[in-house]
Structure 1
């Protein structure tokens, strides 16, 4: 009820100010030309405004042209414009089914606040402009002052509304709300309205229409770029979700297949490691699957800790992981795989079992195949070779690394190691 009373009071004050001004300051023909142009482009621009909801109030963030027509036509002229423009936007939103439940009440707030602010700016302008007229850029200094005053008044109205609704509870909240206003938007409003007012005074309709169109095209371009960026962010987020293993948060098998296709044409030397936890079924049978999941997570984190930014780690099976080591020679890949193997063995996983903390000692076996992409063997075949080397490591007693250097220009005696 207090919100409604405040809005109706704001509208009533602006209406009284408009009526008591008695008449338009310009001839009717000139005013109606200006009114038609402002109504057309303001309505067009309303589709580009960003609507932000706070509490029960919707705020449109966008350039407003109220100041210029208010300075030109006076309180009655701005009240007529705001009434026509806000009513048109209301019916458009009702027709397109984008109106809020309290949209009709918002009309009165928008008409009242914008018409009253522009009327106040009108009176201030005619009081202080003669003192600045003689100074260089004095006109623009006055316009900037008016925009600042109007912005502070708008903030005061909204702070009052949010206080009634309980969204603003103290002075700090009010100050933070005022600080959230964008200075660049205020500058755009000041210079747009300053130029428009000059064109109105000189009845330069072509220039006025040109500025309207320029503002519209720039705003629409900016909005479309923002939407494009937002869509890319959303696509990247969904792609990340699609390519991320939910348990370990490393890449999944789908991303491994995608990466294989990309790397297969690079011609680079890659160390492909396939590894899994030894006797993992025994861990699940001894404890439970929740403990097993902790071990898998710990295993993945341990492996990740040894990798560089350009390497890849994938969860390619239940407790099986695949690693692509890049920009290393064969001996470096073997040494790194050895360190991984020892790190897994020496770093037990922490878990909880029957409400007690436990340490799960575990080991892993590794198969490493090193080769150059784009040779006779494609990367998916190389992955199979690495997997076969892993199985060989398992057969030979687990907790070991079996590797092969598949680079064709090395002697056969240097292509195999057994650790």
Structure 2
């Protein structure tokens, strides 16, 4: 109720300023032409605005052209424009079922705030412009001053609104809100309104229409590019979710299969490693699955810390993980896995059990098969070899690495890539 009362008060204040200002300060015919263009293009621009919800209020982020019309036509002229434009948008949103529940009050707020701000700009312009009229670039200095003041007053209205709603509670919150305003957006408002005001004052309607169309095309192009980028980000996010293991945040088995296809005939020399946590069932049985999950997370993070950006780590099932090492010789792969094995053994996992933090020391076994991806052997067969080597490591006492250099099984002409 307090929010609605504030909005009504703001609207009535702008209405009072408009009515008490007297008649239009320009000829009716000129005003009607300008009103038609501003109403048409403002309505056209309305679907290009970025709408952001702040509490119970929808905020439209877009370039406003009210200041130029306010200075040109005076308080009454800008109030008529804002009322016509905002209620046109209101009717369109109602008809297209895109209106919020409080769309009527949002329209009243927009009319009140923009009309009042533009009325203030009218009085300030005619007060300070004579001072700067003879100064080089004096007109633009005045426009910078006006837009800065109008931006600050607009922020004050919103701060009062959000304070009544409870979204802004401290002075710091209010200052942070003011700081969030974009300087670039203010620059667009300054130069767009400055040029429009020049065209209005000289009644250069072709130039005015041209500027409106230019701004529309630029805004439309920017919006479409922004939407394209947003859609790509969303697609990438969904793809990442589809290929990411929910527990460890490393790649999952589906992505492993996809990567196998990509690497199968790449001609790369690869280290295929299959590893899992030794005696993991005992951890689950002794504690619980939540503790077991924490150990798996720790295990994955420890392995990942040893890998380069070009390597791949997959959770291939349960406590089992698969690693693809790239750009390394066989001996370099063996050395890295030995370091990894020792690091796991000496770095226990922290977990919470019965409200106490516990440290769980654990080990892992590894099977490494090193080979060259080519027609002579499918990568899936190489993976099976690595899995069998893991079983040998388990059978020989765990916490071990069993490896094989598969290049020795290939003809000499196929053992090395061309860049070795």
TM-score, length-scaled by structure 1:
0.91
Q: Residue 348 of structure 2 contacts residue 361 of structure 2 at CA under 8 Å; is this kept in 1? A: yes
Deviation at 1:257, TM superposition (A): 0.9
Q: Hey, what does 1:215 align to over in structure 2?
A: 215
Equivalent-residue separation in structure 1 for 2:224 and 2:325 (angstroms)? 40
SS of the counterpart of 1:407?
A: helix
- The worse-fitting range, judged by mean Cα deviation, of 6-15 and 327-336 is 6-15
Is 2:125 aligned against 1:109? no
Equivalent-residue separation in structure 2 for 1:350 and 1:74 (angstroms)? 70
- The worse-fitting range, judged by mean Cα deviation, of 381-390 and 303-312 is 303-312
Where structure 1 has 5 or more consecutive residues not aligned to the other structure, the ranges are none
Equivalent-residue separation in structure 2 for 1:166 and 1:342 (angstroms)? 55
Query: Cα distance 1:69–1:246, how it changes in 2: closer, same or farther (>3 A)?
Result: same
Number of residues of Structure 1 aligned to a counterpart in Structure 2: 413
- The worse-fitting range, judged by mean Cα deviation, of 22-31 and 379-388 is 22-31
Q: Hey, what does 1:298 align to over in structure 2?
A: 298
| Pairs within 5 Å for 1:368-407 | 368-407=368-407
Deviation at 1:64, TM superposition (A): 0.8
Q: Hey, what does 2:189 align to over in structure 1?
A: 189
Deviation at 1:226, TM superposition (A): 2.1
Q: Hey, what does 2:45 align to over in structure 1?
A: 45
Equivalent-residue separation in structure 1 for 2:354 and 2:122 (angstroms)? 76
- The worse-fitting range, judged by mean Cα deviation, of 126-135 and 186-195 is 126-135
Deviations 1:98-134 (A, max 9, x none): 2122211222222122112112211221222122111
SS of the counterpart of 2:48?
A: coil
Equivalent-residue separation in structure 2 for 1:3 and 1:354 (angstroms)? 49
Where structure 2 has 5 or more consecutive residues not aligned to the other structure, the ranges are 416-420
Q: Residue 274 of structure 2 contacts residue 321 of structure 2 at CA under 8 Å; is this kept in 1? A: yes
- The worse-fitting range, judged by mean Cα deviation, of 87-96 and 164-173 is 164-173
Equivalent-residue separation in structure 2 for 1:29 and 1:127 (angstroms)? 26
Q: Hey, what does 1:74 align to over in structure 2?
A: 74
Q: Hey, what does 1:153 align to over in structure 2?
A: 153
Deviation at 1:218, TM superposition (A): 1.3
Is 2:64 aligned against 1:64? yes
Equivalent-residue separation in structure 2 for 1:71 and 1:83 (angstroms)? 17
SS of the counterpart of 2:154?
A: helix
Equivalent-residue separation in structure 1 for 2:321 and 2:56 (angstroms)? 52
Is 2:104 aligned against 1:92? no
| Pairs within 5 Å for 1:115-154 | 115-154=115-154
Equivalent-residue separation in structure 2 for 1:352 and 1:149 (angstroms)? 56
Equivalent-residue separation in structure 2 for 1:40 and 1:241 (angstroms)? 44
SS of the counterpart of 1:321?
A: strand
SS of the counterpart of 1:328?
A: coil
Q: Hey, what does 1:164 align to over in structure 2?
A: 164
Deviation at 1:248, TM superposition (A): 2.2
SS of the counterpart of 1:16?
A: helix
Query: Cα distance 1:385–1:68, how it changes in 2: closer, same or farther (>3 A)?
Result: same
Deviation at 1:350, TM superposition (A): 4.1
Equivalent-residue separation in structure 2 for 1:361 and 1:113 (angstroms)? 65
Deviations 1:274-328 (A, max 9, x none): 1122333344344443343333233323322322222111111222111111111
Q: Hey, what does 2:418 align to over in structure 1?
A: none
Q: Residue 265 of structure 2 contacts residue 375 of structure 2 at CA under 8 Å; is this kept in 1? A: no
Q: Hey, what does 1:314 align to over in structure 2?
A: 314
